[in-house]
Amino acid sequence: MEATRIKKLPPYLFARIEKKIEEAKEKGIDIISFGIGDPDMPTPQPIIDELCKEANNTINHQYPSSVGMLSFRQAVSDYYKTNFGVELDPRKEVINLIGSKEGIGHINFCYVDPGDINLVPDPGYPVYGIGTLLAGGEVYPMPLLEKNGFIPDLTKIPEEVARKAKLMFINYPNNPTGAVAGKEFFVEVVDFAKKYNIIVCHDAAYTEIAFDDYRPTSFLEIPGAKEVGVEFGSLSKPFNMTGWRVGWVVGRQDVVECLGRLKSNIDSGQFQAIQYAAIKGLTESKDNINEICKIYKSRRDKIIEGLNRMGWNLSKPKGTFYIWAPIPKGYTSASFAEYVLEKAGVIVTPGSGYGEYGEGYFRISITIPDERISEGLARLEKNLGKVEF
């Protein structure tokens, strides 16, 4: 018999589309996927070379520290000082994660008891809500509405909810909407968290993926942020390292320590050779990030211009490698995704998979080669024609 916590998990919303993908492939249909946000470009060679070197060092074949090597934590501290002007104590305010997703999920077990409330963006990365549910908590959705620039309106959170809330999850640049937030929003978050004694968890997975001279803000740049929260970072997106599973959490000392204490009891840390490779990325691969962002910018422009020719009226997102677009008249998010898969052999992600307020939208990931983007756009134009809203 399954545990109650597993029974509470929502059904997998993409199961129906996955079945159709499988059926299409069995028929020999060429599928172009704009679905998963998984970089198609290789990890930079210096990072790979560092992994190979350190994998041959027998000292790295033993158990690592569950909170990460001090040299890794120092590299993260140096990265924050250089990029954001934020001072961090590598011994007390930084720990290594087996990918930021792991830490985002596990922090719920540090603070959430059955019946507690977490404030979760909707639409949002599903692990925020899933982690809450697995810890026995309840999700209070913070709607991300287009009219508000996909920024949550904290004034709409009821007083009784705010007083009961344990964690607030935020994420900018944002997945799935591609929205960015200014410092004024983060200042508001700090004030709100102080007033209601809430721990802020900022998912900063996309702070290096930015365009048009936009520089994303670290939550920790804001005065008082380290008093109320932490920031989760990842090497997955800026260094094309999604499969390597390496990231960090930084910020408020007692929160970082608590998550590290939990991890020391349930995992044995990240392979040290991967940590050494991550250090190489953090310290020597800025040129690679700049080149990757140039490629994504070109792809972003091509997709936006292609969709706008079909009748959309989209602006170009300044961050992430996602495009968030309204569905045409006559569809739901799921039915539109199914239609373009069946008719055009193109996969897009239905917005409803990211929450109630994602309905009415779909997400495109630009992490596929240019020639596949061109083919995908041609197929959409052929099968959709001029769309209406």
* CA-CA-CA-CA dihedral for 379, 380, 386, 387, to nearest 10: 160
Can you tell me whether residue 7 is helix, strand or coil?
helix
The answer on 340 and 281 residing in a single domain is no
The answer on 224 and 79 residing in a single domain is yes
> Given this model, what pLDDT does residue 324 score?
98
Query: 238, 11, 232: which is closest to 105 by C-alpha?
Result: 232
Bridge-partner residues for 258, per DSSP? none
The answer on 255 and 379 residing in a single domain is no
Between CA 65 and CA 270 the distance in angstroms is: 8
Q: What is the CATH number of the domain that holds 147?
A: 3.40.640.10
Out of 232, 266, 285, a domain closes at: 285
The answer on 212 and 119 residing in a single domain is yes
Out of 236, 262, 285, a domain closes at: 285
Q: 213: phi > 0 → left, psi -120 to 50 → alpha, else beta; which?
A: left
The answer on 272 and 127 residing in a single domain is yes
The answer on 315 and 331 residing in a single domain is yes
Q: Would residue 278 count as lying in a domain?
A: yes
The answer on 257 and 298 residing in a single domain is no
Between CA 55 and CA 324 the distance in angstroms is: 40
Profile the chain (389 residues) by mean pLDDT over runs of 10 residues: 79 66 82 88 93 94 92 97 96 96 96 95 95 95 97 97 97 97 97 98 96 95 97 94 95 97 92 96 87 96 96 96 96 93 92 95 96 96 89
> Given this model, what pLDDT does residue 21 score?
76
Between CA 344 and CA 91 the distance in angstroms is: 53
The answer on 211 and 62 residing in a single domain is yes
Answer for the pair 247, 202: CB distance below 8 angstroms, yes or no.
no
Answer for the pair 94, 103: CB distance below 8 angstroms, yes or no.
no
> Given this model, what pLDDT does residue 38 score?
87
> Given this model, what pLDDT does residue 14 score?
59
pTM (predicted TM-score)? 0.94
Out of 263, 285, 307, a domain closes at: 285
- 45: buried, middle or exposed (CB in 10 Å: 19+, 13-18, 0-12)? exposed
Answer for the pair 182, 319: CB distance below 8 angstroms, yes or no.
no
Instruction: Domain count for the chain, please give it.
Output: 2
The answer on 262 and 316 residing in a single domain is no
Q: Would residue 35 count as lying in a domain?
A: yes
Between CA 228 and CA 193 the distance in angstroms is: 6
> Given this model, what pLDDT does residue 17 score?
67
> Given this model, what pLDDT does residue 12 score?
62
Q: Would residue 61 count as lying in a domain?
A: yes
Cβ burial 65-91 (10 Å sphere, 16+ → b, else e): bbbbbeebbbbbbebbeebbebebebe
The answer on 158 and 11 residing in a single domain is no
Between CA 353 and CA 341 the distance in angstroms is: 16
- Report the chain's C-alpha Rg in angstroms: 21
The answer on 238 and 180 residing in a single domain is yes
Q: Would residue 389 count as lying in a domain?
A: no
> Given this model, what pLDDT does residue 93 score?
98
Q: What is the CATH number of the domain that holds 365?
A: 3.90.1150.10
The answer on 335 and 264 residing in a single domain is no
Answer for the pair 333, 359: CB distance below 8 angstroms, yes or no.
yes
Tell me which amino acid residue 170 is.
Answer: I
Domain enclosing residue 349, as ranges? 4-42+287-384
